Amino acid sequence: MTTSPHDIPGIEDLPEPFQQAITRFLTFLRVECGLSHNTRIAYARDLRDLAQHLATQAVLQPENIQPRHIAGHLASLSADHELVNASLARHLAAIRVFSRWLHARGTLAEDPTEPLLRPARWRRLPKTLSPSQVEKLIEAPHATPNAKGPPLWLRDRALLELMYASGVRASEICDLADDDPLRDAALLRVRGKGNKERLVPMGTPAVQWITRYRFECRPQLASMDNKHQGRLFLSRTGRPLERTAVWVIVRRWANSVGLKGIHPHMLRHSFATHLMTGGADLRAVQEMLGHASIATTEIYTHLDHDRLHQVVNKHLPFG
């Protein structure tokens, strides 16, 4: 899906040089970087806000951007919009990529974001489920007496098993093709962010439930609509399962066993945390999660450290 500047209100009112630069930059993000439509929209919004601020400073062309202009923009966001550090860091990250792109093209002689420090960020630890909670959630789907139509509970059980067994994102599980689970090798082929492909091991329970779903449920769903696009997980109407539907499925079964506030990404966090707690190598976890930077994966070492502190405080006599 292409992303036009006109998708973002206010961009058409920017000075023409900025409109052109943002348009070409969005094409670069789609073609060269393979970023998703939603990510490109977020970049476009941040750059629109930057260009609007620069216009008030009589900076009407990208080649005239200076570090003080960007610093002033971030200061105004903090003061006028009361953005937290994490949001400021996201704004600055988008501006950095844009500035480096302009510098690489020769539009800017120097990268104006180079002297700027990143806003300090509090790292909020992700919420996870305990092993017993994961077990309750995964085992929640069950056959309904006198139910008609395809056994959707089988689909849901396979979905939950696979999300926990592989740590895939909700968007990634929706994109899985029917032949992506490599049953004989117990591997799952996943296409992640930037269309990068990775192979993730699957445990025996996940392989068994996926196999059962593919033979007992999916053929019935696929026969309902020829627009299933060869996807693995299908809706009750035979269409590819959408990300919002995954959220509904996870939340519905979680609520049925008394687990509140559960969302799909908690299964991904739990997958990584339980691996780290069990002694898995950080690099291996990074590869399975599909993180581009190991710094992203290191958040799960903090979770493990917290658990160790709790053990010490509880069991050390004179701690």
Instruction: List the strands of the sheet with 197-201, edge to edge.
Output: 181-182, 187-191, 197-201
**pLDDT grade, residue 122 (50/70/90)?**
very low
CA nearest to 275, candidates 312, 308, 300 = 300
pLDDT per position as a tens digit, 272-305: 999 988 888 889 999 999 988 887 888 787 655 5
Question: Does residue 234 sit in helix, strand or coil?
Answer: strand
**pLDDT grade, residue 14 (50/70/90)?**
confident
Active site (catalytic) residues: 169, 193, 265, 268, 291, 300
Region 238-260 average pLDDT: 94
**What was the pLDDT predicted at 155?**
96
DSSP 83: -
CA nearest to 243, candidates 223, 261, 220, 265 = 265
Cα 300 from Cα 275, distance rounded (Å): 9
Lowest model confidence (mean pLDDT) among 66-70, 119-123, 226-230: 119-123
In the predicted model, is pLDDT for residue 220 greater than 70? yes
What is the CB neighbour count within 10 angstroms for residue 94?
A: 19
Work out the percent of the chain whose per-residue pLDDT is above 70: 86
Strand blocks (E) in 151-229: 181-182, 187-191, 197-201
Cα 21 from Cα 146, distance rounded (Å): 60
Region 31-44 average pLDDT: 86
In the predicted model, is pLDDT for residue 249 greater than 90? yes
Cα 216 from Cα 151, distance rounded (Å): 8
Region 62-81 average pLDDT: 81
**pLDDT grade, residue 3 (50/70/90)?**
low
- For residue 63, the surrounding DSSP H or E stretch is none
pLDDT per position as a tens digit, 163-219: 999 999 999 999 999 999 987 888 999 988 777 899 999 989 999 999 999 999 999
Contact of 13 with 6, CB cutoff 8 Å = no
Give residues with Cβ within 8 angstroms of 294, minimum separation 6. 282, 283, 286
CA nearest to 144, candidates 157, 126, 135, 163 = 157
Contact of 225 with 237, CB cutoff 8 Å = yes
Region 235-264 average pLDDT: 94
CA nearest to 163, candidates 188, 196, 126, 184 = 188
The token duo for 156 is 């849901």
Domains defined for the chain, CATH in brackets: 5-105 (1.10.150), 131-313 (1.10.443.10)
Helices (H) and strands (E) in the chain, counts: 14, 3
